[in-house]
Amino acid sequence: MVKLELRSSHWIVDQDNNIIFGKGRMEILETIDRTGSINQTAKALKMSYKTVWSKIKSTEKHLQVRVVHSDKRTGTRLTPEGRELVKRFAKLRSRCLAADDRIFRRFF
């Protein structure tokens, strides 16, 4: 018998189904935290600088909170709110995936 598994993706969206936050944006913030640079993040994730910056700005606009702080001298870093967002989404995602697996095993 073939082993089956479920693949799930989770996003936080607004009422118009615009993505506010998800795995991709979490990866952007985690990479910024690691590199201290939006430019290095864009290169590491094979995205344009403009794309990375626009996703950050969109998230900040919808959540009405700054998630990154950029300074030419000290570089870019996550704000406390940005760190909390990453932490909460990682926890949410982990629990959702566990629940998805439990439900999947009931049916398959």
pLDDT value for 16: 94
**pLDDT tier, 72 (very low <50, low <70, confident <90, very high otherwise):** confident
pLDDT band at 21 (very low <50, low <70, confident <90, very high): very high
Instruction: Please report which confidence band the pLDDT of residue 2 belongs to, taking 50, 70 and 90 as the band edges.
Output: confident
Fold of 20-107: Arc Repressor Mutant, subunit A (1.10.10)
Q: What CA–CA distance (Å, rounded) separates 63 from 94?
A: 22
Distance CA 87, CA 6 (A): 24
Describe the crossing of helices 49-63 and 23-35 by its angle, rounded to 10 degrees. 110
- Break the chain into its structural domains and give their ranges: 20-107
CA dist list (Å): 14 to 17, 28, 41, 92: 5, 20, 26, 17
Which candidate, 1, 4, 42, places its Cα nearest to that of 24? 42
Start-to-end CA distance of the chain, whole Å, equals: 12
Q: Work out the average pLDDT over 27-43.
A: 97
pTM for this model (two decimals)? 0.90
